[in-house]
Structures are given as C-alpha cells and as structure tokens.
Amino acid sequence: MKRLIPLIALFVLVSCQPKDPIEQRIDDLLAQMTLEEKIGQMNQLDPSWSAEEKEPLIAQGLMGSIFNIVDPQEVNRLQRMAVEESRLGIPLLVARDVIHGFRTIYPIPLGQAATFDLALVEEAARLTAEEAVQAGVRWTFSPMVDVARDPRWGRVAEGYGEDTYLTSQMGAAAVRGYQGSDSIVKLAACVKHFAGYAVSESGRDYNSTWIPEIQLRETYLPPFKAALDAGSLSIMCAFNDINGVPASANKHLNVNILRDEWQYDGLLVSDWGSIMNMVSHGIATDRRETAIQSLEAQVEMDMQSNAYLWYLKDLVEQGVVSEQQIDACVRDILRMKFRLGLFDNPYCEVETPQYFQPEALAAAQRAAEESAVLLKNNNALPLTSNLSPLTSKPTVLVCGPLAHNQHDQNGTWCFDKVDSMTITPLMAFRQLAKESKIRLIEQKGKHWSREVSQSNIAQLTRLAKQADVVLYFGGEESILSGEARCRAHLNLPGDQSEQLRALKATGKPVVLTVMAGRPLCIGDDIAAVDAVLYAFHGGTMQGPALANLIMGEVAPSGRLPITFPQAEGQIPLYYNKKNTGRPTDHPVLIDDIPVGAGQFSIGESSYWLEYGDQPLYPFGYGLTYTTFEYGPVVLSDTILDFTPYTLHPTLQVSCIIKNTGNREAVAVPQLYIRDLVGSLTRPVRELKGFQRVSIPAGESRTVTFTLTKEDLAYWHLAEGVDLGADGKYEFSAEQGAFHVWIAPNAAEGEPATFTLK
C-alpha cells in the first residue's frame, strides 16, 4: 500500500492537470458534431467542382478543406459560408501547392539543395509563406522530401536530391521557414509523399516500388521524420504502391510507423485522387472499398476522391468501420485548424497584397546565385578576368532557348508566378549593356528547347562571329520535369547539341548555362564548350544572378545535390552505394578497354564496359573562381566510447582549408563517414555534415564538425535475429573502425580513422 500511495498521488496530480485547451476545444466540438459533419471534415475538394456541387457542402459544414483558390476575396467568401452559415462554424483549411515560391519564385527545390545553405532555404520558405498567406493560403503541400536517385523521374526537380542527410536537413529548414516559430502557425507545411515515391521503377511516375524495410528506414524515412520533428503540421501519402500495398492503404507506413512509432498527431492527407486510384492499382474493386482501406490505414483527409464523402456514412451504419475511427481522423483535422488559429481568425485580412518585396527579390537572387554549380571552366569565366585592357568591354552574344524565356526559367510547380516579373539572362545582359559594361548581340526570336532548325543554327553562327564570347543558355523547358514528366533520354532536347558545336566551330569561347529540372547526361556537350554553369530552373531573379556569376561579381558556390551519370544506362547511380565484393578502382578506358583496376583483374570487377564505374560528376561537386586545398583530417580522439563519463562524449573532426587562388570564394566542406565493417554491409560513404565557409584569397580557415554516436548508428537486425523476421530492427552504432573525411565532394579526400569501442 505504501508504494501505491505515491502512484495514486501521481495519478491524481496528472488527472487534475488542466487539459490542453486545444484538446479540450476539440472534445467539445466532437461531442456536438453529427456523423455527417465529421465525415465532411475529412473531405477536400478543389475548384474544378462546380459551385452547385461544392457550396452547399461548405454551407452545411460538410467540407473540411478546399484547395487551389488564391483569390483572397473568394477565399473569404467561401470561408464565411463555412464559418457563418454552417451549424458549428468550423472554418475551412485553404490549401495550395506553394512549392518554391508563391509570386516571387525561388529555384526549384533541387536547385535550392545545391546551395547547401540551410539558412537561405529557411528564409526562402519564410518569405514564400508571407506571400502565400496574403492570398488566403494557409496550408502548402510542401516540402517534398522523397530521396530521389533516378533523374529520369520528372519529380526529381521537386526534392532535394539523392542524399538522406541533405534532404532531411533541407526539408526541416523549409518546414521551419513556412511555419515560423509563433504558437499560431502562419502557413502549415505538408511533408510528402509518404513514402518511397521516388523509387518508382525505371523512373516512370506513379510506378511500383519495392523497398526492403531496412532500406526504407535507412534511406527513405529519415527525411520525413526530420520534417515532422521540425513541426510539420501535416503529411501526404504517396501515389505509389510500396511492397504491394498502395501508400494510401499502407498500414505499415501510416499506422505502425507514423502513428505508433513516431507518435505523430498531425494530419495525414491522401494525394490527389490516390484513394480512388486504388481501384486501378487492383487492390479494391470499387471506390467504396478504397474508402474502407484508406480509413483502416488512418488516411484522414481524402483529396479529390470523394470516397469518404460518399461512402463512409453507410459504412459506419453498416458496422464496417466505426465512428471511433472517424473521430480519430477528425480530431487531427480540427487540431490542425486550431494550430493555425483558424477558429479565432478565419479570414484573410490583407487588403493590398505586397508581393515581390525587395527582401523577397534579394533572397530569390541570392538563392539563384548560390544554386548554380560551375562544372567546367577552361578560363572562360568570369568574363571580366579574361579581358585584355583592349577588350575590357566585351561583345557578348546572348543566345539559346532559355536566354529569354520568362515562363520556363521558373521551372515546374509554380502556379502563382507572374511571368512578366521574371528577369531573364537576356534582360540582365541588356542592363549591363545599358551600363556600358558589355556590348550586346541578341539572338532574335523565340526558340524552344525542343526545336530543330537549320536557320537558327545559321543565324547563331553568323552572330557568334561578331562576338568575343558566346553565352548560350540551354537546357530543358519547365514542362519536361515535374509530375508525369519522365524522360528516357537525358540529353539536351532538340538540336541544342548541334547549335553548341556550330558555335564552338566559330573559334569563339562558348559558355554554356544549363537550366534544367534534373541532371542531364551531357558529357559530350560539356566537352565541346569552354565553361559550364549548371543552374537548374532558378526562378524570378535567375537572370541577374547568372549575370553576376558570369561577370564575376559573385563566385559560384553551388554543389551538386545529386550524382550526374555519364549515361542513362548507369542509373541509379549515387555516391552512398555499397561496395561489391569485387569493387573497381576507377578503371581508365584505353581503346575502349578498361585498365588499371584495383585488387582484382578488371574482368572480375564491377563496372560498365563503356564508362568504368564513374559518374560524370559526383555528389557534392562544384568548382568556383578560386581553388581550395584541404589539409589532413584531425580528430579529437581516435578511440571512442561515447559514454557520458568520457571527457569528450562527441568526436570533433576538423581540417584546414586554404584558398590557394586569387579571389575570395565559398568552400563547401562535406563531412563523410564510412563504417568499415558492420553486421550488415555499409555504404562506402555517408554524408553527416556540411558547411559553407567564405575564405579570402590566400587565407586559411579551420572547419570543425561534431560527430555523435547517433551519427554512427544505422538500422540493422537486432542481435540474434535473422533477416526476414518482422520488426526486429534496431538503430544503433556497432563497434569497430570508421573512416571519416572532410572533403570537397563525395569522390575526393583522404580519410582519417577512428575506432568505436
């Protein structure tokens, strides 16, 4: 009894604690709601539904959310209907895909990842939220944190590349930016697509995925967890089936992991029509059945399928599903509405929206500058440093299909951009000409990336002959990446390659700037020109950003967030691979025959006959207008046990980086580890940190990273458990030797070694 007294006291204390006010208000509302009203909250429709279909639902409190309306007057009109006409006055959630900017457009997320600049990504998301909320949007379907290792997949543009760590960091930064740190969230984030969407077979959108549990946990789930830990109020399930079960019916993901393991109390929304799509998947015979399966998997809001709206009431009445299941979903939906402060302040208050503010334009320009990756430079860039005093005002030909294309340089998924506000490279160079910094030759007429035209080539050649340097802006139109925009050939579309060769044949230096939504396999084009900036689709301010980089006002600092393959046949190709039993030590092709293999003869090692085992450019790669020398890696200790009792429960890893060139620039040191021997095979490198450090010419800086035991941990089988036993995985570090690098990219650097006791 004595031992029971403290327990009883504790129980009394806990039960006397005032209930969280939001939870109390949710309870009160739920108690008043009819079954229809509860189910209505689980329904989300867009404006493609006619006013006759949708407005009565709103006025009767039978609609939880609308999306794709960005007119604040219209948002307020519909909101008034929900708040003032419906019985309980529950406000609507107003959603929109605000992916890389609302009116002011920032680089596509893949480009943002190339900045390796978390503060900037957070800032861009914060400024994006400021614009979007003025249109009445309170919920964005962003960030997308699908780790993508197949550049054929068109949605590679929408994510942060191939790496789990980088994607986790970037996604969390975006969530912090959208949502801010106030107790009332301005713009709710929605991390998507849960999970494994980017693993679609052969890079074909919506295709099947097969992901073993350990790989799911190690590679694909951590970015979701990081975004939820950063506070994302919602999460969206993916379109794909994963290990045979569509994500919208996947109890393992949505219940076991999301709810039971991660204890997530935010809102899980389906993707567009993904509930009804399960009929096509062949896992349900009709929409009624899809409603059962998604509800069982705790998908709480139905985007555009109407499966819940049409079938859930009958299903409850027939006892197929329970009202408690419905209540659990509605509770999370209402919680999100409270967290957004919608019950107290449902309307959009801005009268004259303030878009394209100087702060937003400056951040967009900086993001575009930092996202461009210099892949090659035979001294062609920057233009200013190569000019003899006689040609201090060079004659520049600005040409190519993306030189003056306000629509396409914004990239995929930016519904609310204003093309006329977009500054193209041609516009930026016209400004430089006006300031007498250059003489400008313009290629006349509009050209498309997919066009083939002999007269265009003839015109280009003629103009190039009059110029000192050719600035060619090529790549992909925005419609070639994004949802359902997958490509089998990752070339420069149309006759761009021929144009580049014709330009080069004039003997003039040719600088190629690529705007694209994905890595392209363009080694031959790169070889044919003098310098290459890989700039992704950079948004509203990409023109001035590129002009600054090309003229040398700013030194490039972007690094590749994804491996560039030499050819499509190498895909998937990523740095974080496992070693084979017969690894190749970078064979060199001589007369098309690989030579110079490592410990095995070449006939017995792992490579492609045409390409050896190397990418075109590795993850993390990028040049600038200076050179950096990385000193040896220095460790604070070489034998670690990480117990709290040791003097240093973390490992400090540092190195000195010297700027050996003649101008200041940003180095992007990357921290990698390798667990040399594990109970499961381990990747040859894993990114665990990165920094951006500006180093003046001739100077050195010491960079230091901290490794914790968690950084060394990975998902493996619990001791004594065989592969295949369900749910017996553990996340922990194993004893033994590790390599650690501080390197300029995933393919360079000399490691130091330490041992985990």
Note the residues at the interface with ligand BGC (CB under 6 A).
97, 141, 192, 271-272, 483
Compare residues 247 and 438 and give the one whose CB is closer to ligand BGC.
Answer: 247
Which lies closer to ligand BGC via its Cβ, residue 189 or residue 428? 189
Q: Which residues partner with 736 through β-bridges?
A: 756
Question: Least distance (Å) from ligand BGC to the CB of residue 158?
Answer: 8
Contact of 398 with 425, CB cutoff 8 Å: yes
Q: Shortest Cβ distance from residue 343 to ligand BGC (Å)?
A: 25
User: Closest CB to ligand BGC among 192 and 504?
Assistant: 192
Q: Please, what is the minimum distance in Å from the beta carbon of residue 660 to ligand BGC?
A: 45
442: nearest Cα among 457, 420, 427: 427
Pairwise CA distance, residues 720 & 679, whole Å: 11
> d(Cα 727, Cα 714) in Å, to the nearest integer?
15
Please say which residue, 274 or 410, places its beta carbon nearer to ligand BGC.
274
Return the bridge partners of 188, or none.
139
Residue 138, CA distances (Å) to 58, 65, 340, 364 in order: 17, 11, 8, 22
Q: Which residues are catalytic?
A: 271
Q: Which lies closer to ligand BGC via its Cβ, residue 23 or residue 483? A: 483
Name the residue type at position 497: S
Between 108 and 398, name the residue whose CB sits nearer to ligand BGC.
108
As measured in angstroms, the least distance from the Cβ of 42 to ligand BGC is 17
Q: Which is nearer to ligand BGC, 198 or 426 (CB)?
A: 198
- The nearest distance, CB 146 to ligand BGC, in angstroms, is 10
Cα dihedral: 293, 299, 300, 303 (round 10): -90
Q: Secondary structure of 457-486 in the HEC alphabet?
A: HHHHHHHHHCCCEEEEEEECCHHHCCCCCC
In this structure, are residues 224 and 177 in contact, taking their beta carbons and an 8 Å threshold? no
**Least distance (Å) between residue 193 CB and ligand BGC:** 6
Q: Answer yes or no: are the C-beta atoms of 572 and 404 closer than 8 Å.
A: no
Neighbours of 181 (CB within 10 A): 7
| Least distance (Å) between residue 678 CB and ligand BGC | 35
| Residue 49 contacts residue 346 (beta carbons within 8 Å) | no
What does the alpha-carbon distance between residue 568 and residue 302 come to, in Å, rounded to a whole number? 37
Q: What minimum distance in Å lies between the beta carbon of 524 and ligand BGC?
A: 34
Please report the beta strands in 295-400, taking only residues with DSSP state E, as ranges in sequence order.
302-303, 373-377, 395-399
List, in sequence order, every beta strand (DSSP E) within 252-387: 267-269, 302-303, 373-377
Q: How far is the CB of 572 from ligand BGC (least distance, A)?
A: 21
Residue among 271 and 711 whose Cβ is closer to ligand BGC: 271
- Between 49 and 600, name the residue whose CB sits nearer to ligand BGC: 49
- Is residue 148 within 8 Å of 162, Cβ to Cβ? yes
CB of residue 434 vs ligand BGC: minimum separation in angstroms?
Answer: 41
Q: Can you read off the two tokens belonging to residue 219?
A: 């590679």
3-state SS class at 54 = helix
Residue nearest to ligand BGC (CB): 141
**410, 596 Cβ separation under 8 angstroms:** no
Structure-token match 């990752």, residue found: 490
Neighbours of 507 (CB within 10 A): 9
Q: N- to C-terminal Cα distance for the chain?
A: 45
Phi-psi region of 727 (alpha: psi -120 to 50; beta: other; left: phi over 0): left
9 phi and psi angles, rounded to 5 deg:
-60, -40
Residue 311 vs residues 35, 272, 274, 307: alpha-carbon distances, Å: 12, 18, 16, 6
**How does 64-83 read in b/e, with b if 16+ C-beta sit within 10 Å?**
bbbbebbebebbbebbebbb
Smallest separation (angstroms) from ligand BGC to the CB of 12:
47
What amino acid is encoded at 512 in this protein? L
Rounded CA-CA distance 138/548 in Å is: 35
State the Cα–Cα distance between residues 164 and 575, nearest whole angstrom.
Answer: 11
Residue 141 or 311 having the CB closest to ligand BGC: 141
- What three-state secondary structure class fits 358? helix
**Which residue lies nearer to ligand BGC by CB, 272 or 611?**
272
Q: Which of 492, 487, 489, 490 is nearest to 475 (CA)?
A: 492
